[in-house]
Amino acid sequence: MTATDDSMDDDVFETQEDTDNKLKLLENSIDRKADTRSPTGYRGYKPPTEVLNLCKTNVLDDVQIVIHKTILLGDSGVGKTSLLVKFDTGKFESGKFSATVGIGFTTKVVEVDDTKVKLQIWDTAGQERFRSVTHAYYRDAHALLLLYDVTNKHSFDNIRAWLGEISDYAQDDVAIMLLGNKADCGTERAVRRELGERLAKEYNVAFMETSAKSGQNVELAFHAVAKELKCRRDGHKDPNRFNVQDYIREQTQDNSAVQQCPPCSY
Ligand SMILES: Nc1nc2c(ncn2[C@@H]2O[C@H](COP(=O)(O)OP(=O)(O)OP(=O)(O)O)[C@@H](O)[C@H]2O)c(=O)[nH]1
């Protein structure tokens, strides 16, 4: 499977008009909020011009598309922006990104079983003060990638709270994948892989460890989500229900020689 920037033929999921209306709503709400005092200091926030331009080019050019909205969530500093940039550009630049302010997105086409699936991937700010803004985006999300940092126990302990917010604000059938990021940090590890696996099982969500730095499982995380979303859409035609965790297991076994986590003592 490969990820490309090609457009795709498929039926309409979100139209140009829908996207236009959302942009207008976003711009209006930002203008309105700028008029009032904000306890968080967020109300004056305007998305960067590039984000708005991105909306106006990449999405609006393709009218005949299926957009699967995928959101990256998790505490500040767990690596959401780095994971997205690695997937998008193949690059990791240590310490390059300042904390995300508000929200922005990138679109990426992923090829699954000879079909193109368009993921609109939203990167959110992990900082608490932006939480009310990001909640607004949960409602129409098809998939959520929830990250913690394997070197930061606190970010793992907060996952239950994140899952609580997800159940409050997202659709019941949203696809959720828990990602333990920074798996390259062998000696600094503070959260064992088994703890992540156990938590994911408890909440019945998919799980894998990733590294935006080494690239471990980065493509796989987004491909697994794309495959899950495609299978959900095709569900009525597919008698053998796709199981995303089995798929991840098969794929990581295939690649285990290159993707093995360094031994750790936790
Ligand atoms: N070693 C290692 N460092 C990483 C990895 N992913 C991200 N980082 C580093 O962790 C720091 C935070 O990464 P970001 O991508 O900005 O984190 P974020 O979750 O987007 O943070 P917010 O925007 O504040 O929500 C940066 O210094 C990254 O270089 C990884 O997989 N391995």
pLDDT at 259: 46
How many A from CA of 84 to the centre of ligand 1?
10
The complex's ipTM?
A: 0.99
Residue 61, both tokens:
């050019």
Tell whether the torsion through CA atoms of 200, 201, 202 and 203 is positive or negative. positive
Cβ of 73 below 6 Å from ligand 1: no
- In a 3-state reduction of DSSP, which class is residue 204? coil
pLDDT-derived band at 59 (thresholds 50, 70, 90) equals very low
Whole-angstrom Cα distance, residue 140 to residue 135? 10
Query: pLDDT higher for 26 or 210?
Result: 210
* Beta-carbon contacts of residue 97 (< 8 Å; ≥ 6 apart): 81, 82, 85
Q: Which atom of ligand 1 is nearest to the CA of 85?
A: 15
Q: What is the mean predicted confidence (pLDDT) over 221-227?
A: 94
Note if the pTM is more than 0.90.
Answer: no
pLDDT at 94: 81
pLDDT at 8 over 60: no
Residue 266: CA count within 13 A, CB half-sphere: 17
Q: Which atom of ligand 1 is nearest to the CA of 84?
A: 15
Q: Is the CB of 81 under 6 A from ligand 1?
A: yes
Decide: 97 in ligand 1 pocket, CB within 6 A: yes
- Check pLDDT > 90 for residue 235: no
151 lines ligand 1 (CB under 6 A): no
DSSP codes of every residue in 99-156: PP-SEEEEEEEEEETTEEEEEEEEEE--SGGGHHHHHHHHTT-SEEEEEEETT-HHHH
CA of 198 to the centre of ligand 1 (A): 24
- Residue 218 near residue 87, CB atoms below 8 Å: yes
Please answer whether residues 196 and 206 qualify as being in contact, where contact means their C-beta atoms are separated by less than 8 angstroms. Answer: no
More confident residue, 209 or 26: 209
Q: How far apart are CA 259 and CA 214, in angstroms?
A: 9
Give the separation between CA 151 and CA 263, rounded to whole angstroms.
14
pLDDT band of residue 182 (cuts 50, 70, 90) is very high
pLDDT at 240: 60
- Top mutation candidate among 76, 81, 130 for ligand 1, by most atoms within 8 Å of CB: 81
Residue given tokens 């309105």 in the structure block: 32
Nearest CA residue ID for atom 7, ligand 1 = 79
Beta-strand pair 103-112/175-181: unpaired
